[in-house]
């Protein structure tokens, strides 16, 4: 069964600054909760992370997975999909960075869809979803706003 989540948050920074932090994959372990390693294993034609390998330690377990990132024609949107993982069968997601007002504030729209290889109890799924959303939005917000971007 596929689990999906969508959230949004406003960050006091430009969309470009938010996008820059979100695409600086090798720095994720500095700010993303539970993320222990991130390595760009392939880049796209513009030198951005294409395939990125991650190692996460959460809920007493370590897991590894590799995501393939796509950027398309919108310079403030990125999406990803799972190409390899040890506990997930599928993961798709996207960030979109939308200017608000004069452009000095950004609305970040986040979407993720996950299929696990092994079914999880409801309370475990809800806890994992809450951690994922917190990292994807609250930790991102803290990182961007604390960097003075």
pLDDT digits (tens, 9 = 90+) for 104-148: 999 999 998 887 666 665 555 566 555 666 677 899 999 999 986
pLDDT digits (tens, 9 = 90+) for 16-58: 999 999 999 999 999 998 899 999 999 999 999 999 999 988 6
Q: Using a cut of 0.75, tell me whether the model's pTM lies above it.
A: yes
Distance CA 65, CA 81 (A): 10
Using the structure block, give the residue that is written with the tokens 């390899």: 84
Q: Give pLDDT, residue 132.
A: 63
Q: Give pLDDT, residue 51.
A: 98
Q: Cβ neighbours of residue 86 under 8 Å, at least 6 residues apart?
A: 63, 64, 65
pLDDT digits (tens, 9 = 90+) for 56-109: 886 677 889 999 999 988 889 999 999 998 877 888 999 999 999 998 999 999
- Phi, psi angle pair for 64, to nearest 5°: -125, 145
Q: Give pLDDT, residue 118.
A: 65
CATH homologous superfamily of domain 12-146? START domain (3.30.530.20)
Where do the domains of the chain lie?
12-146
């Amino acid at each position: 069964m596929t689990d999906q989540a969508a959230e949004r948050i406003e960050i006091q920074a430009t969309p470009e600054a938010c996008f820059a932090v979100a695409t600086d994959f090798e720095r994720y372990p500095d700010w993303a909760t539970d993320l222990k390693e991130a390595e760009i294993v392939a880049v796209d034609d513009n030198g951005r992370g294409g395939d990125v390998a991650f190692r996460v330690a959460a809920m007493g377990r370590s897991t590894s997975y590799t995501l393939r990132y796509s950027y398309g024609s919108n310079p403030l949107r990125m999406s990803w999909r799972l190409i390899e993982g040890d506990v997930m069968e599928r993961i798709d997601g996207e960030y979109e960075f939308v200017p608000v007002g004069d452009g000095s504030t950004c609305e970040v729209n986040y979407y993720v869809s996950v299929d696990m290889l092994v079914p999880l109890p409801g309370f475990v799924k809800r806890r994992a979803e809450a951690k994922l959303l917190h990292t994807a939005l609250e930790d991102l917000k803290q990182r961007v706003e604390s960097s003075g971007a």
